[in-house]
Each structure stands twice: as structure tokens, then as C-alpha cells.
Chain A
Amino acid sequence: MRAMQIAAAAVLTVALSASLNAQASVAITGATIYPVSGPKISNATIVFTNGVITAVGSNVAIPADARRIDGTGKWITPGLIATATSLGVVEVGAVGDTRDGRARGKDNIAASFRVWEGFNPRSVSLPVARQDGGITTVGVMPSGGMVSGLGAAYDLMEGASAASMVRKAPVAMVATLDNAAAAGAGSRAEALARLRTLLSDAREFNLARLRYDAGNMRELSAGRADLDAMQLVLKRTIPLVISADRASEILNAITIGREFGVRVVINGGAEAWSVASELALAKVPVLTGAMNNIPESFGALGQRQENLALLRAAGVEVAIVGNGAGGEDGFNVRNLRYEAGNAVAFGMSWDDALRSITLAPAEILGLSDRVGSLAIGKVANVVVWSGDPFEYASQAEHVFVAGTDTKILTRQAQLTQRYRQLPVKY
């Protein structure tokens, strides 16, 4: 019971303050709306009040005091969700002082590391992801070691505190099976064995906490805080997100999930398409992208851009996580929508691609009761696009986060303004 209480206490869901800068009511009319939770609606209106969606449809009442936006010719989608990023915990990759995404841990285990405690809400990359990318919710995940720690989800509110931006924390425990060296192991099988030992020890610890605290227990493979944090995984409160590329690594991850009854999510999954039926059977979701087809390691020889389409066709839940070039987990998280477009170019249906950057990640991270779709009662994370959101020519014209029309000029936009005419005037 005690473990249950600890686990429950650790799951901190902050209800967004409805009055926080949200305009009372907004109505966007005459647009094509993609609710994701249902089919697209043409010539439709969406209304939200105090940050919560109150109506979506083709024939809805608009409050008299609502701010009206003409959505004619526009496409409206839920705010996009980037599932696994380093936003807010890595600012400039080459500058150590701005890197807060990984813990030192002990023996490559940092299960109790709460990455969100180092989250910087003032990161200049956050507004870029939102204004350029239409992204309103991000998963912030730790990295490094065998077990990297706990990730959190944030809504990209403007000028808010980290505490008010938290959508949910924790949302996942992050681990790796695709990098034996980082896991402190000499081989793939040893990495698997180390993870298995940790889960086994964590279970044993939980069954004998009194004995453990009395110092009457054999030495376990991790410290108390880490063993305690692993309970969230063992109790299925949060998924264990495992980096795995080679088909054998993915199958090992499925096996671990089955052995311990934990919820496994595959991250990376270069060769996931080749074990798609096993993944579908085990109900193991995959986080992967559509812009990498390079056999860039002996663990990723089968990497291909059709991965998402093949997984979806086999019935696997997928969320799109950029795997192309140029910092798609940080500075260029904004490119998520183009990754979805490339998924379509390589065989995925357009609707599935949109789902894979909205509702699917919301479900995987346990946020779908509030974000990821446009339905009554959901948080008003809403994007108005000038056209197909996957196309380069399209822009996010309005990005509402919890009902607030975000406006901030990104650092990049400020630089652009400054140098629009040369010579520059400082």
C-alpha cells in the first residue's frame, strides 16, 4: 500500500488554470476542422471558453461576447504533440551549462532522475516549436545511461512558469537497449540482463521494504530512490520507453514487458517494421520517424522510411518522433509536421499521420483525456493553419494554448526583423 501511495503521489497532474490569460471565448468559423477523434468537418466552427473547448461542429451556437476569427479556407487541427524532446533541458548542445537532460546516476541507472526539475521555461526553442511548428505539448525526456530517468509533458504556454506549464509528470521512464556501452554492458544480452535485474530487484524491494530499510537484505542493483521510482513502471502507472533499433532488441523489449507485466513503448525502432506483428500482438507502441533510411549502424541496417506505414498497417500504435537531420529533438522540433508529410509520402494515410502527432502521442503519454483531439471538454490547444499543415508553404496562423492566442516574437523572428534590411541598424 505504501508503494501505491508513493506512486500515486509522484503522478502529478496539474489542472491548467482556466483563467490564465485565456480570452473568455473564441470562435473560429467557416474552417475545415480535423478533430482527429472523429472525421474532418467542413465549413465548421470551433468554440472555446476559458481555455476549454465548448463546441465543435458545423452548426454551433457562438457566445455573443466571443472573439470571432474567420477561418474560411483554413485548416484547424489540435495542437501538435512532440513526444520525446530535449526542449527546455538542452539549450545549446555544445554548452555544458545549458545541458540538463541527463543524470550521472549510479551504475548507469538514474530511474529517480526527474528531468523536469531542470526544465527552463525561458528556453528560446519553446516559442519556435510553438509558433513555427504548431506544437502545443511536448514530452521532455531524459537521456543517457541504461535507465535515464523520468520524463514529463508540458504545454507550451507563453511566459508561464514551469509549474503552470506541466501537463503531467512523470509521463514515462526512459531506458535503452540499443546502446550496450551506454548501459554499462558489454553486449546486447548483458544490457538486457541488467535491465531485467533492475526490474526484478525493484519488485523484490517493494515486497520487502521494511526488511530493506532495516538493512536486512542482500545488495540490490540500484539505490533506494531508483528502486522506488521503478515502482511506477511495475505498477503500470507510466510506460517504460525503451530505445531499441535492431529487431532483436525490439523483441527483447517486448519480452521484458511480458516478463514483468510493464507497459513498453519502443523509441527509435529502426527495424520495427520487420517485427510489426509481434509489436501489434503485444500492444507495444512505437515512436519513430519517416526521414531516415540510412543503415547508420549495425543495429539499424533495416532502417527505412516506410516504417510508420508498415507498422500502422499491422495495427501498431505509432507516434511520430523526428529522425531526420538538424536537431529534431530540440532546435528543430518544429519540423514534426514535415516528418508527418514524409510519412505520407512513404505510404501512411494522411489521417493516420495527423493522428500520430496528436492523439496517438497523447494516448501513449497518458494525456488524451485533455489534449490531442478537438472535442468538447478538451483543453483548447488549437492551431489554425493557412493550408495543409504538412506542407512547407503552410503556416500556423494562430496557435492557441489553453485558449490563449500565443503571439510572442521568437528570437529567430527578432533576428530576422533586425537584418531584413542591410546595413543593419542596431
Chain B
Amino acid sequence: MRHFLVLLCVAGPALQAQTPAAPTTASKATAAPGTGAVALPNADPFPSTYRAAPARAVLITNATILTAAGPQIDRGFVVLRDGKIVSVGSGAPPAAGDAEVIDANGRYVTPGLIDTHSHLGVYAAPGGEALSDGNEATAPTTARVWAEHSVWPQDPQFPRVLAGGVTTIQVLPGSANLIGGRSVVLKVVPSVSVQGMKFPGAKYGLKMACGENPKRVYASRGPSTRMGNVAGYRAAWIGAEAYRRRWDKWLADRQGDPPQRDLELETMAEVLRSNILVHNHCYRADEMLQMVDIAKEFGYRIRSFHHGVEAYKLADVMARDSISGSLWSDWGGFKMEALDGIRANLALVHNAGARAIVHSDDPSGAQRLNQDAAKARAAGAVIGINVPDATLIQWVTLNAAWALDLHDRIGSLEAGKNADVVLWNTNPFSVYARADRVWIDGSLRYDRTDPKQLWRTDFELGFVPAPSTVSGGRR
């Protein structure tokens, strides 16, 4: 417990909370049965049980490599061993030793793709009320809920997204609420439990939402207007700040009983301590600029604006304040706040110096993040913004890793990073591209040429016909 105390005491007043404190989630959360509850907050009560599957080392040779951390490498090699990337380079590959050797024969190798905006598991297929677990639409602020408690690991969408080369996803609550709850970062792997999918050590996110959705859902009880939305965020943060002070004081002097825990405020206080990252669903530029001010008022940072169909109108501010944009290539038009969607959005955000990220918010789009990136790049080329493959790959890997604060572990092919790797049949930014193999932590999780080894969720057994082996018809 001493260790835990020290961690929490590091956090200063909210307005100085920009310096990230050490995550409080590292501490033990469970007490021995019969000894009573652990009263301290944020102690990782649902710890990850994920373990990388043991795997033989892999040497990929003759590959075209987009590392996401440097220029394109032609005829290069990648070595994966013990779950990590050992080396990446060009020229003569190192001795294979006991490694499986894969001659890529010019095929492309990239980092595993990362989707910062997923609802897999919380809006599982085959859909319907029974599997609709993404919005706790019972109150405008529900920071108390955690998306992981809705995730169904047998959602048949997981293996399909893996086959699209996606190795890490952030599952978020929906956007019905001003403050929707905690997200969870998952590895796209089969597991009985969500704990078995959780990315060890990943920070939580907090889902916030602007605009039409909350005011529509709560029209009868409020908020029913955008000004009502803003009042709702501010009131919630005022409560969170008071809670944070109360707890930090108690943790410092340990006088009397600890304050009563409050799941809602606990999550928000962790945002104020920079231990939870804010992911803000917001479409319109004017609203995003208001959210920037609210973040300043309460001393937190916005890690990523999600959807942001008007991000191109404030790309300069996003660059200045290090706010990434988790964006679609071309969705828009479906509601008033999405009216100004343009295909050049990602390119303009990138061009302004902010981090451009292709996100999906969709189980179908998540399978083609690479294609969406290619589409968005083409729109940039039309207006003179040219993005080479070696940079474009960051939109679906390293920039997304940054949004999750995991860029030191995933998102690029560099020695020491997790061996999340995709081997593509051709340039991943071609419409004809398909992932041939996908590794997570060095373990082969998908092999297109081996349908017998394909991950099939429990739900699929008997219900969903086994996949075809029909090959591509590319001429």
C-alpha cells in the first residue's frame, strides 16, 4: 500500500496536472477473501490476464517495409523473437538460426494497425437489443461505467477485424452521453474473458461527446441544447476537481476515514491527474474549440478528437495543442453536424502538423483502415498535399498508438517494440490489398492461406458457414 500512496501523492493541483503522474492503475486491487474490500481507488480491479502465445522466432526477408518510423525499406528484413521486434533493416538479413524464414518476395510488411475508435464487443454481431451494450443512456454523465464490462469476447467481428491487419483497438462507450465512461484497449485475440484481451498496462480513456447526440437523447430531461451540454461538462468537472482534492488530501495525511469512493468522480479525477486520456467525440469546429477551452478551464488535455468531420477548420489549433484527430476518410452528410465532411480532412490535419489518424467507429470500416488512408491521401493529392507510403502508414499505426499513449510499445517496426506485424499481399494502400499474415507479440494470429487455423468465435460455430478459400481474382 505504501507504494500506491506515493503514486497518488505525485499528482499536483489540477491546473498543474499537465505533467503525467505515474499511473495509479499499477497497484494491486484485490484483497484476500474475507479481509474486506480494498477501499483505495483506481487500483486495476480487473487486471489483464493476457499472455502472448509462445511462438517460434520469425525472419521475414525480401520485404518492402513501411516501418512507420522512417523511410520505406526495399528488399528488407524483419526479425521477431520472444514477442519483440529484434531488428529491421535492409541488405543481407541476419542468420536465421532457429527462426522460421518467410520470403516476402517483395510483399509489404507494416506494423499491426490500430483502431482508436471501436465498438467491437459492446455492439456485437448479430446485433439486436440483447447485444446492444455500448450506451448507458440513462443519465447525461456516466463516467462510472467501463466499456470492458460490456465487451462480449465472442463477438464474431473480432476475427474479421484481425484479418484486416488490426492488432490493437480501443473500445469506447457510445456517444449518447456528455461523458460516456471508460474505454478499454484490447488486443484482437481470442479469449474467454475481456481481461484476457486487455492490453497490459494500457491507460484507460474517457469518452466524451459533443453536439447532437447527447442533446437528442436527453431532450426531455436535459441537456436539450448545446449550451446545456457545455453546462453539463463543466458541472461534472467541478465535482471531479473537488473529489480529487478531497482524496489527494486524505492520501497525503491519512487523517480519519477515507472519503467515500465514487466511481464517476474517481474516473474523472484520474483524468485530472493525467492518468486517463480524454477521447472526445465532436463533429463541428466551433464545438471542438469550446472543448479546448473547457479542457483549459479544468486542467486536462484532450488526447484525440474523434470523428471531427470539421477538424480541418481547426487543424492549426490541434497541432498547437497536440490534439490528434481520429477521423474517417469520407463520412459525412448524415446529420447537420456532419454536413461539412470532406475527403481532404485527414490530409489537411496532417499538413497542419497535427497527428492524423484513420479511425473506424464501424466493424466494416475497421477491416479497411489501410484503404481509408489511401482514399484520404488521394484527396490530399488533389490539392497538392502529397503523403508518401512511409508517412501514410503512420495514420493507421504510430499516430493511433500515440493517441493511446502506447507509442513506446506499438505502432512502428523498431527494435524493442512489440512484434505486432502484418504481411500484406501487395501495397497495403491498394484496393486489392489483403493481409496474408498477422502477428501479435510475435505470435501468428492470422494466416490467410490456412483457413483451418482461422479463429472462429463460439458464436460462429454452427451458425456461420466456414470461410471460403476463394482466391483473389486480381488480374
User: Do A and B truly interact?
Assistant: yes
Contact with B along A330-356 (1 / 0, CB 8 A): 111011001001101111111100000
Could you tell me if B156 and A294 are in contact, using CB atoms closer than 8 angstroms? Answer: yes
Could you tell me if A393 and B316 are in contact, using CB atoms closer than 8 angstroms? Answer: no
Q: A338-B371, A341-B432, A393-B378 are in contact. Are A295 and B470 (CB under 8 A)?
A: no
Q: Which of A22-65 contact B (CB under 8 A)?
A: none
Give Cα distance in the complex from A338 to B460, angstroms: 28
Q: Which of B367-384 contact A (CB under 8 A)?
A: 367-368, 371, 374-375, 377-379, 381-383
Give Cα distance in the complex from A309 to B471, angstroms: 10
Give Cα distance in the complex from A332 to B343, angstroms: 11
Q: Does A422 contact B (CB under 8 A)?
A: yes
Minimal Cβ-Cβ distance residue in A for B216: A94
Residues of A within 8 A of B266 (CB): none
Residues of B within 8 A of A324 (CB): 364-365, 368
Stretch from A212-220, A299-307, A374-382 contacting the other chain: A299-307
Could you tell me if A132 and B343 are in contact, using CB atoms closer than 8 angstroms? Answer: yes
Could you tell me if A326 and B313 are in contact, using CB atoms closer than 8 angstroms? Answer: no
Minimal Cβ-Cβ distance residue in B for A304: B468
Q: Which of B336-383 contact A (CB under 8 A)?
A: 336, 339-344, 348, 352, 360, 362-365, 367-368, 371, 374-375, 377-379, 381-383
Give Cα distance in the complex from A298 to B383, angstroms: 45
Give Cα distance in the complex from A422 to B352, angstroms: 9
Residues of B within 8 A of A19 (CB): none
Give Cα distance in the complex from A301 to B431, angstroms: 25
Q: Does B409 contact A (CB under 8 A)?
A: no
Contact with B along A394-426 (1 / 0, CB 8 A): 110000000000000000100111011011100
Q: A331-B332, A393-B378, A416-B344 are in contact. Are A295 and B472 (CB under 8 A)?
A: no
Give Cα distance in the complex from A390 to B430, angstroms: 9
Q: Does B475 contact A (CB under 8 A)?
A: yes
- Tally A residues with Cβ within 8 Å of B: 58
Could you tell me if B470 and A294 are in contact, using CB atoms closer than 8 angstroms? Answer: no
- Minimum C-beta distance from A314 to chain B (A): 12
Q: A345-B474, A347-B472 are in contact. Are A331 and B334 (CB under 8 A)?
A: yes
Q: Does B312 contact A (CB under 8 A)?
A: yes
Residues of A within 8 A of B334 (CB): 92-94, 327, 330-331
Which listed residue, A345, A392, A420, A423, touches B429 by the CB 8 Å rule?
A392
Q: Does A1 contact B (CB under 8 A)?
A: no
Residues of A within 8 A of B333 (CB): 91-93, 125, 327, 330-331
Q: Does B201 contact A (CB under 8 A)?
A: no
Residues of B within 8 A of A390 (CB): 431-432
Could you tell me if B316 and A422 are in contact, using CB atoms closer than 8 angstroms? Answer: yes
Q: Which of A71-100 contact B (CB under 8 A)?
A: 91-95
Could you tell me if A392 and B431 are in contact, using CB atoms closer than 8 angstroms? Answer: yes
Residues of A within 8 A of B362 (CB): 325-326
Minimal Cβ-Cβ distance residue in B for A393: B378
Which listed residue, A125, A295, A335, A416, touches B342 by the CB 8 Å rule?
A416
Residues of A within 8 A of B314 (CB): 422
Could you tell me if B335 and A274 are in contact, using CB atoms closer than 8 angstroms? Answer: no
Q: A309-B470, A345-B433 are in contact. Are A424 and B475 (CB under 8 A)?
A: no
Could you tell me if B364 and A419 are in contact, using CB atoms closer than 8 angstroms? Answer: no
Give Cα distance in the complex from A342 to B331, angstroms: 19
Could you tell me if A420 and B316 are in contact, using CB atoms closer than 8 angstroms? Answer: no
Could you tell me if B467 and A304 are in contact, using CB atoms closer than 8 angstroms? Answer: yes
Contact with A along B33-50 (1 / 0, CB 8 A): 000000000000000000
Residues of B within 8 A of A294 (CB): 125, 156-157, 160, 363-364
Q: Does A297 contact B (CB under 8 A)?
A: yes
Q: Does A282 contact B (CB under 8 A)?
A: no
Q: A294-B364, A295-B463, A324-B365 are in contact. Are A344 and B330 (CB under 8 A)?
A: no
Q: Does B420 contact A (CB under 8 A)?
A: no
Q: Which of A183-199 contact B (CB under 8 A)?
A: none
Q: Does A293 contact B (CB under 8 A)?
A: yes
- By a beta-carbon cutoff of 8 Å, the part of chain B in contact with chain A is 125-128, 156-157, 160, 212, 312-316, 328, 330-336, 339-344, 348, 352, 360, 362-365, 367-368, 371, 374-375, 377-379, 381-383, 429-434, 459-460, 463-465, 467-468, 470-475
For the complex with contacts A291-B364, A294-B363, A345-B434, 9 further pairs of A-B residues with Cβ separation under 8 Å are A295-B126, A302-B464, A306-B468, A327-B332, A344-B472, A344-B474, A344-B475, A393-B374, A419-B312
List of 6 A-B pairs having minimum Cβ-Cβ separation, nearest first: A341-B431, A331-B333, A94-B335, A392-B374, A347-B470, A325-B362
